[in-house]
Amino acid sequence: MAKDDPENPTHGWRDEREHSLSGPIAAGPHMHHRRHAPPLYGVIAEFETPGDLVHAARKVYEQGYRRINGYSPYPIEELSEAIGFTHTSLPLIVFIGGVLGGIAGFGMQYYMEVIDYPLNVGGKPFNSWPAFIPITFECIVLAAAFSAVLGMLILNKLPQPYHPVFNTPNFALATRDRFFLAVEANDPKFDHGKVTSMLHSLGALEVSDVEV
């Protein structure tokens, strides 16, 4: 602060006031008006042929990236192997559903025939389990089928009305004749500049940022 002017006793007070106004008061109230860049979901590359997509997926996986995904108009068997997707929990879900369905079907018949309303039919025992097998089998098939459908929907996070990749230019062509490879930003090795350069070097037609 400048020294007080004896001829102007308010000079020092004015300097002190101006100094205080140039600090947090000047910056604070306007900070919330600044627009921040939307969070990044990842980077996606567009390819012309399935061979190009599979080749790029293999190279990206070899570089150590694991949060990657491919999109194509039809299933590509090599693609799932290229991105390291070699295991699924669906068979286990179907097996557990079938076992629970079989137990429920047999238990239902046992309860009705032995506990709730036992009938003596031709001198046969109440727990005539061979007669329970057809219904038990049908319950196994029914429960396993429902488990397969529900498990597939849950594992694929369906239905999914919105996904960040829907914002990508030309992504509608993923249902026609274009192939896409996405590297997610939450991958431990993700670096925006390196990933973008790598995808360009792998022959991508276009590389775009995907916002959440």
Decide: 129 and 191 in contact? Cβ < 8 Å. no
The helix/strand/coil state of 144 is helix
pLDDT cut 70: percent of the chain above it = 83
Ranking 4-13, 63-72, 201-210 by mean pLDDT, the lowest is: 4-13
Q: Regarding predicted confidence, which is higher, 85 or 28?
A: 85
Output the pLDDT for position 37. 63
Q: Which residues pair with 44 in a beta bridge?
A: 182, 208
pLDDT in tens, 128-156: 999 999 999 999 999 999 999 999 999 99
What would the two tokens of residue 27 be? 């910056």
- Indicate the pLDDT class of residue 19, thresholds 50, 70 and 90: very low
Output the pLDDT for position 35. 56
Q: Regarding predicted confidence, which is higher, 96 or 122?
A: 96
Q: What mean pLDDT value characterizes the chain?
A: 86
**Cβ-count burial of 17 within 10 angstroms (0-12 exposed, 13-18 middle, 19+ buried)?**
exposed
CA quadruple 160, 161, 164, 166: dihedral sign? positive
What would the two tokens of residue 30 be? 């306007």
Burial track 146-163 (b if 16+ CB lie within 10 A, e otherwise): ebbeebeeeeeeeeeeee
pLDDT in tens, 34-49: 456 679 999 999 999 9
Look up the pTM and report it: 0.70
Which residue type occupies 121?
A: V
Decide: 131 and 88 in contact? Cβ < 8 Å. no
Taking residues 183-206, report their average pLDDT. Answer: 96
Q: Regarding predicted confidence, which is higher, 6 or 138?
A: 138
Q: Is the peptide bond before 24 cis (omega within 30 degrees of 0)?
A: no
What is the dihedral angle through the alpha carbons of 117, 121, 127, 131, rounded to the nearest 10 degrees? -110
**In terms of DSSP bridges, do strands 40-47 and 179-184 run parallel, antiparallel, or are they unpaired?**
antiparallel
Output the pLDDT for position 36. 64
CB atoms within 10 A of CB 202: 19
Q: Residue 180 carries which DSSP code?
A: E
Helix axes 192-201, 50-62, angle to 10 degrees: 140
Compute the distance between CA of residue 212 and CA of residue 206 in angstroms, rounded to an integer. Answer: 19
Q: Which residues pair with 206 in a beta bridge?
A: 46
Strand residues in 3-136 grouped as ranges (E): 40-47, 68-71
Q: Is the pLDDT of residue 14 over 70?
A: no
